[in-house]
Structure formats: C-alpha cells, structure tokens
Amino acid sequence: MKKTAFGGLFLAVFGLGLGLRMARLDLRPIHHDEANQAVKFGALLEKGDYRYDPADHHGPTLYYLTLPIAWARGQNSLAALDEKTLRIVPALFGAGLILLFLLLGRELGREAVLAGALLAALSPALTYFSRFYIQESLFAFFAWAFLIAAGRYVLRPCFAWASAAGIAAGLLYATKETSILVFAAAGLGIILAMLGDRKRPRVIPAGFSTPLADSGTGIRREPARPAKLPHFAAAAVSALLVAFLFFSSFLRNPRGIVDSLAAFKDYFVRGTELGVHSQPWFYYLKMLLWTKSNGVVWSEALILGLALAGLAAAILQRKRHSEAPPNIGPAERSVGGFWPIYLSTATIALTIAYSAFSYKTPWNLVVFLAGFAILGGYGAAALLRAIRPAAGRAVLILLILVGAAQLERQNLRAQFVYPADPRNPYVYAQTSPDFLRLAGRLRGLADVHRHGLDMLIKVVAEPDEQWPLPWSLREFRRVGYWTNLAEAGGMEGVPIVIASQRFAEIIEGTAGDAFQAEYYGLRPGILLTMFIDRGLWDAYLGKQTER
C-alpha cells in the first residue's frame, strides 16, 4: 500500500474511532465507580488536595490529566463539573490508542496497521470503556506505549527508546496497580521473541548499517548492539521520576510512592478471593465471542478470529524466518524474527493473567483486547498475502468489511441505544436512568425550601448503595452520609431523607404521615426511597399547581 493511500485511510479510521468515543458523552448516567473518581478529582480541583489511597481509587494520572480539561471548560469546583468534562480524558486516550498503531507500521506492515486500527476503532468494548471516567483507557494506552517502546529498544538500543519506555512505564505504574502484569508480559514476550531470533546469524546486506566486512561472501555482519547500563539507568530514572511525581502529588506527599508499593498486597488479595465480582476464567472470552440477552446478540468474534489468524501467521513466519538464508534484510528480520512473536506473547500473557484472577469486571479486558486488535490486523494482512487470486482477495476484503460494518452497528447500539441497559454485555452494575429523576426532584424541592441548596439532606444506606449520590448531590451544600439510623440521629424536622430499602422500612414504620415517600431505581435490584417532609412536599405541589 502506498504511503499516501495509507495516510488517508488511517486518518479516516482514526476520525471514526474518535467520533464514536467523543459523541454524546453525557448520554449514559454516571456509574458509581465514575462518581467515586469524580469526587476524588473534585477535591484536587477545588483545593489542590490529593493523597494516594492504597486501599482503593487506583493511581493519580486520571485526576491530574483531567485538570487541564476542567480549566479549559471554566469549571473550578465539583458542583460545576459535568459528565462531558470527566469523560473527555478517557475518550481521548481511547482514541490515542489507535494512533499508537502507527508506531508498528514498519514492524508489521501498513496493511496490518490499518486493519488493526479499524478493528480497534469499531470495537464496541474498547469504545464503551473509553467513555467511562475510570483509569482503563489510560492504562491501555500507557501499556501499549510501553510495550512498543520496549520492543523498539530491544532491537535498536538507544537513549531515546530507553527513556520513552521508562516514561511510559512510570505513567503506567501511576495509573493502575496491575501495571505489574504488563511488565511481566513484556519481559516474557521479549524473552520468547529473542530466543528464537538468536538462533540466526545477525547479518544483513551491506549498506544497511555500519557493518563489519565478511570477506569473500558479499555479506557484511551486523555488529552486536547489546543493551547498555546507561540506557537502563535512563529508563529507570525516567520511570521512577514520573511515578514519584504523580504519587507524591508533585512533591506535596512524598509518602505516596511508598503507599503505592503497599497497595500490591491489597489488590492481590482482592483479585484472588471469592466475592461479588468473582467470575469463571472464561468470563472475558465468552463476553467477546457471543452474548445474547432478550434477543439482542453481541459478538466481537471477528477481532478474536483474525487475532488467531495473526497468531498462526506469527508462528509460521517465525518458522520461515528460522529456515531462511542468513542474508535477509533488516525489515524481514524485524517482522519475522521479533515483533509478531513479541506482540502475540504479550497479548496472550495478559489474557491469561486477567482470566486467572477470580475478581473480574468487564473493563479489565481493554488492555488485552487492544492486543487482539493489533494481532487481528496482522492476521488480516497475512490472509490477504496468502490468497493469490485477485478475486479471492476481493472476497476476503468484502467479508472483513461486512464484519467491520457489523462491529460498527453493535458499537452504535452499545453507546447510543443501550448505554445503560442490562442487555448490553458491557453494562455492569450501571446506574439506572430512572435515578436521574432524583436529582431533578431535589432541585425542584430546593426551589421552594427556605434554605435552597443549603437544605439538609440525610442519606442512610450501606456504603455500596450511597454511590453515585455524592456526585448527583454535588450542588447541595448540607448533605450527610450514614450507614445506620442510630448515627444519623432523629428525622424530625429534616426536609429530605434518602434511605436504602433496609432502612426505608424502619423509617416508614415510625414516621407515619410526616413524610411523602418516592422510590427511585439505583441499579438493577437496588431501590432507594426518598422521604420528603410533608410541609415541603405540600409547598412543592402548590408551586407546581401555580405553574
């Protein structure tokens, strides 16, 4: 494929992926995990206050990288924030992941990069979780930036790629604790790719690099370029400096980097113990291959199928590479001797690692699904090369485009038709659209209360049933949260009480006619009751009648 054609097509694919990730970011109600992150970010935005919590919340990159977006949109407080501001950052990094594929153009070929970018752009899962204010799309971006930079360094050691790998590693570590899985996958991939490649003489035709003459053969042997200690030092310093700056809240909390190490124990225990998030090992693969709910079918089997073709092509290419004459050029050695095996190994290792942990949430698949997209592009290009007749290639291209169109259809359905519907397999403990009515009702009640947004609101619910209330009630300045009625104190004279089902039954039994009760679905199977002081309720109804 010519460079001009490739550039135009890649730009179109990237534009498609960016549009799918950025359009109507406020359509889906905020998830309770997003709300948790948003409140954490709100403290940083308002007070410049951030302290890494080793027990939860993951790393700080998401919060600090959201600051420029909030400032640019003129939002300087939690109350002023909206869903669009929060979700722009993960959406941009989700689209940026597609751009990273460009770094593999020489290594895998332009056709493979273009096909892989198309798969990533249209993947419903990659798009859906790029529209979440959580760390996952940043994590996937930094993970693959690190994997690509590390691979580049292995083949051509230099300060530039060593430093790039170090910076990416630091950002990855400062994003999420599971970065250790990426580092392990990279190491395993490099070992397996280099083991096979070392079986061949490191020779290239004369003229490709500074050679050493091999008299009488017409071939010149490439000088060995071992990794150097200064390069490792540059990578280590870059990684440590970046990680330290973020975890230390840019030198305000130096202990943060120590706390980041303590977090590994907690997350390992959480990942291996049984609980509400425990799922079988095949959870992610089943979700991607085939899901049917109330007649709605979802499948990203095209990506996985082409990735299997890419894996097979990588193995066959390695076999041909090992049997080829020693005077192959550097481009052939790069494609056949290292990159396909390296990327395949890293992707498979990450898939196995995430599948092995009992703790599973759908968004964890993002990092290895990105690898499947890369391998899928390589597989598509390999299949096109394997088919000789032009008519056969045309049929294959048509089939891939039909599959891509089906991915796009599912993508549009996931983001804009069923963004919060349980029939969507990527929806997980999602806040119900019905819950949006609660905030609207509270604003109406505040309009008639003498204290307005300063009216007292008591929330009495289990911790996991309080979110995303801190986000939904961010405009109200007197909101208290309790996990039992005794600590919450008396309800007499309190204008608004929001309670989970367990406490709502007790309040209903003791309050008599003092409150008007309304019910709101929080998440599937979870109901909240809002008790409204009878006098406030009558005033609200009176104002509605006047209108």
> pLDDT tens digit string along 413-449?
999 999 999 999 999 999 999 999 999 999 999 999 9
Confidence at residue 322, expressed as pLDDT on a 0 to 100 scale: 62
Owner of token pair 């990279």: 186
Q: Are the C-beta atoms of 370 and 362 separated by less than 8 Å? A: no
For the question of whether the overall pTM of this predicted structure is more than 0.95, the answer is no
Q: 3-17, 168-182, 201-215, 240-254: which has the minimum mean pLDDT?
A: 201-215
pLDDT for the residue numbered 490: 86
pLDDT tens-digit profile of 109-167?
999 999 999 999 999 999 999 999 999 999 999 999 999 999 999 999 999 999 999 99
Identify the pLDDT of residue 324: 54
* Residue 333, pLDDT above cutoff 60: no
Cβ-contact 523, 422 below 8 angstroms = no
pLDDT at residue number 198: 55
Range name among 200-214, 359-373, 380-394, 508-522 with the lowest pLDDT average: 200-214
- Give residue 5's pLDDT: 94
Q: What is the mean pLDDT of residues 454-481?
A: 96
Evaluate if residue 281 carries a pLDDT over 70: yes
Q: Which residue has the tokens 């008591």?
A: 458
Task: Give 197-245 as a 3 state SS string.
Answer: HCCCCCEEECCCCCCEEECCCCEEECCCCCCCHHHHHHHHHHHHHHHHH
**pLDDT for the residue numbered 276:** 78
Share of the chain above pLDDT 70, in %: 91
The pLDDT mean for the chain works out to: 90
Q: Pairing between strand 479-482 and 457-460? A: parallel
Mean pLDDT of the 199-223 span:
42
In 3D, which of 302, 308, 306, 305 has the Cα closest to residue 411? 302
Band (pLDDT 50/70/90 cuts) for residue 541 is very high
Residue among 189, 198, 187, 196 at smallest CA distance from 342: 189
- Summarize the confidence of residues 175-202 as an average pLDDT: 84
For the ranges 215-219, 466-470, 480-484, the lowest mean pLDDT is seen at: 215-219
459 φ/ψ angles, rounded to the nearest 5 degrees: -110, 125
Tell me phi and psi for residue 132, to 5 degrees.
-115, 135
Q: How far apart are CA 225 and CA 154, in angstroms?
A: 9
pLDDT at 224: 44
Stronger pLDDT, 274 or 9, i.e. the higher one: 9
Confidence of residue 269 (pLDDT cuts 50, 70, 90): confident
Is residue 202 predicted with pLDDT exceeding 50?
Answer: no
Query: Contacts by 478-485 with C-beta closer than 8 Å and gap 24+?
Result: 478/451, 478/454, 480/456, 482/458, 484/460, 485/460
Query: 145 CB contacts (<8 Å, ≥6 apart)?
Result: 100, 164, 168, 171, 172
Quickly state the pLDDT bin for 40 (edges 50, 70, 90).
very high
In this predicted model, which residue has the larger pLDDT, 317 or 157? 157
- Per-residue pLDDT band for 218 (boundaries 50, 70, 90) equals very low
Residue 222's pLDDT is 45
Q: What is the pLDDT of residue 320?
A: 74
Distances from the Cα of 437 to the Cα of 87, 110, 421, 449, 525, angstroms: 22, 50, 17, 18, 17
**How much is the pLDDT for 207?**
39
Task: Specify the amino acid at residue 207.
Answer: G
Could you tell me which residue, 365 or 217, shows the higher pLDDT? 365
- Give CA–CA dist 179/260, Å, rounded: 12
Whether the bond into 330 is cis, omega within 30 of 0: no
3-class DSSP assignment, residue 520: strand
Report the distance separating Cα 475 and Cα 440, nearest Å: 12
Answer yes or no: is pLDDT of 290 > 70.
yes
pLDDT tens digits, residue range 235-257? 999 999 999 999 999 999 999 99
CA 96 → CA 55, 91, 186, 273, 366, distances in Å? 29, 8, 20, 34, 14
Amino acid at 448: V
For residue 49, name the pLDDT band (cuts at 50, 70, 90): confident
User: Once rounded to an integer, what is the mean pLDDT over residues 339-358?
Assistant: 96
Going along 22-67, which residue ranges are E strands? none
**51 phi, psi to nearest 5 deg:** -135, 125
- Asked if the model's pLDDT at residue 318 lies above 90, the reply is no
Q: Is the confidence at residue 219, as pLDDT, over 90?
A: no
CB 424 within 8 A of CB 444: no
- Tell me what pLDDT residue 337 has: 72
The predicted pLDDT at position 293 comes to 87
Quote the CA–CA distance of 497 and 542 in Å, as a whole number: 21
